[in-house]
A = this chain, B = another copy of it.
Amino acid sequence: MKQEVQTAVVGVTGYAGAELARLLLHHPRLKGIPPVFAGRLDHADTTRGGIPLAEIHPHLADNNGTGALRLEPFSWELLADRGVDLLFLATPHEQSREWVPQALARGLRVIDLSGAWRLTEASNRAVYGFADEGSELATATQSQAVYGMPELHRQIIASAQLVANPGCYATSVILALRPLATAGLLDLNAGIIADAKSGVSGAGKAPTPKTHFMYAADNLSAYGVFTHRHTGELLEQIGLKRDEIVFTPHLLPIPRGILSTIYVRFKEPHTREAIAHVYHEFFSSSPMVRLYENGLPQIQYTVRSNFADIGFQISADGRRAVIVSCLDNLLKGASGQAVQNMNIMSGWHEAEGLL
């Protein structure tokens, strides 16, 4: 890849898009090369040459020049004219299903933050009900997709044309379980429980009854029991059968952050030290994962960082563990991980612009 990278972002109006814009605008490798922000605009905004970014996200407005940035009317020509190399899609699943093949056909590399291309198995994708499921184009595109979790797939991400950025819940659960699964320690007959809790930004920016302050505040609710769409990612990336894990998400009355409490049984008893060793080995080259020696992670220590924090407790008999995994759903769970993938794809240090 050439020394400089020109990025583009579609979907900057959403929460993940805003975080992505912030990260890219301050990224040390992209100084003086702000992303192209593009999207489908209405006629009035198209006519005035797009919308100043500062109108959409006042906190991205500063006095050092980015005030000039605009969200421009999307076209493939615009991206070509600007010499875009790398396209971030922070778009709905359906839009990513449509646009990713077009982007690949034009030679762009793509990091897609939606759920469109994360799942290898058709049975796991079924929950999305994609209109183009099974088509030749979709199958070919899926075969190019790399699941964008650097801690698992660093090497193939480096040369990937299409990176499917993981789901936020999935990231928190997979990072906690994959080391134990890879080491063959888990008693899968006993089953795994992943009880996950997420802040409201995970529910998206559209005002709905469930994102109303009066619904979310002073409340906690479970949803998507046995049916949440991130389950397929858990199965494929941890290597589980469907009945080997129960995943339950909850809506927390906080803006951002995920905490997953994960319950496993081991085939054999283990000491805390042995389990800690497994994690340390697995993440020895992973700068964005922090392992707790004592105590347990909390949402507050990961919010507004790209770190995934993992800690655990072992039962007295050494046969069970409770693992706590925390991250910021908009960063390590979305845009931060996307930038981490960009870094790897560009040959830069994985954590650049993320500390």
Residue A211 CB within 8 A of the other chain = yes
Cβ of B220 and Cβ of A197 under 8 Å apart?
A: yes
A264-315 CB contacts (< 8 Å) to partner B: 265, 287, 290, 296, 298-305, 307, 309, 313, 315
Q: Does A102 sit within 8 A of B, measured CB to CB?
A: no
Residue A246 at the chain B interface, CB threshold 8 Å: yes
**By the criterion CB–CB under 8 Å, are B213 and A217 in contact?**
yes
Q: Chain B interface: which of A54-62, A75-83, A146-154?
A: A54-62
Residues of B within 8 A of A197 (CB): 197, 220, 250
CA distance A257 to B302 in the complex (A): 20
Collect the chain B residues with CB atoms within 8 Å of residue A211's CB: 207, 212-214
Q: Contact: B58 with A195, CB < 8 Å?
A: no
The residue that A218 contacts in the complex, of B300, B309, B316, with Cβ under 8 A, is: B300
Task: Report copies per complex.
Answer: 4
Verify if A30 is at the interface (C-beta below 8 Å from B): no
What are the residues of chain B within 8 A of A250 when measuring CB–CB?
197, 259, 261
Q: Which residue of B lies closest to A59 (CB)?
A: B301
Distance in Å: Cβ of A210 to nearest Cβ of chain B = 8
Of A114-122, A123-131, A173-181, A317-325, the one contacting chain B is A317-325
Instruction: List the one stretch of A43-51, A163-171, A221-229 in contact with chain B.
Output: A221-229
Do A299 and B209 touch across chains, with their CB atoms under 8 A apart? no
A205-B212, A212-B207 are known contacts. Are A218 and B303 too (CB-CB below 8 A)? yes
Q: Which residues of B contact A193 (CB under 8 A)?
A: 193, 195, 263
Say yes or no: is A138 at the interface (Cβ < 8 Å to chain B): no
Give the CA-CA distance A254 to B218 in the complex, in Å: 5
- In chain B, what residue has the closest Cβ to A289? B63
Q: Which of A185-223 contact B (CB under 8 A)?
A: 190-191, 193, 195, 197, 200-201, 205, 207-209, 211-223
- Chain B residue at minimal CB-CB distance from A305: B59
Question: Does any Cβ of B come within 8 Å of A15's Cβ?
Answer: yes
Contacts of A225 in B (CB 8 A): 296, 313, 322
Q: Which residues of B contact A304 (CB under 8 A)?
A: 304
Using Cβ atoms and an 8 Å threshold, which residues of chain B touch A156? none
Is A1 part of the contact surface with B, judged by Cβ < 8 Å?
Answer: no
A252 interface residue (CB < 8 Å to B): yes
The docked-state distance in angstroms from the alpha carbon of A322 to that of B62 is 24
Instruction: Name A residues whose Cβ lies closer than 8 Å to a Cβ of B.
Output: 15, 26, 58-59, 61-64, 190-191, 193, 195, 197, 200-201, 205, 207-209, 211-223, 225-226, 243, 246, 248, 250, 252-255, 257, 259, 261, 263, 265, 287, 290, 296, 298-305, 307, 309, 313, 315-317, 319-320, 322, 324, 351, 355
New contact pairs (10) apart from A219-B254, A219-B300, A223-B296, CB-CB < 8 Å = A193-B195, A195-B195, A197-B250, A200-B217, A213-B213, A213-B253, A218-B257, A221-B296, A225-B296, A250-B261
27 contacts between A and B (CB under 8 A): A26-B355, A58-B301, A58-B309, A62-B287, A62-B355, A64-B355, A197-B197, A200-B213, A205-B212, A205-B214, A207-B211, A213-B215, A218-B254, A218-B299, A218-B303, A219-B299, A220-B259, A220-B299, A221-B296, A222-B322, A223-B296, A225-B296, A226-B313, A243-B317, A243-B320, A252-B252, A252-B253
5 nearest A-B residue pairs (beta carbon): A207-B207, A195-B195, A221-B298, A219-B300, A225-B313
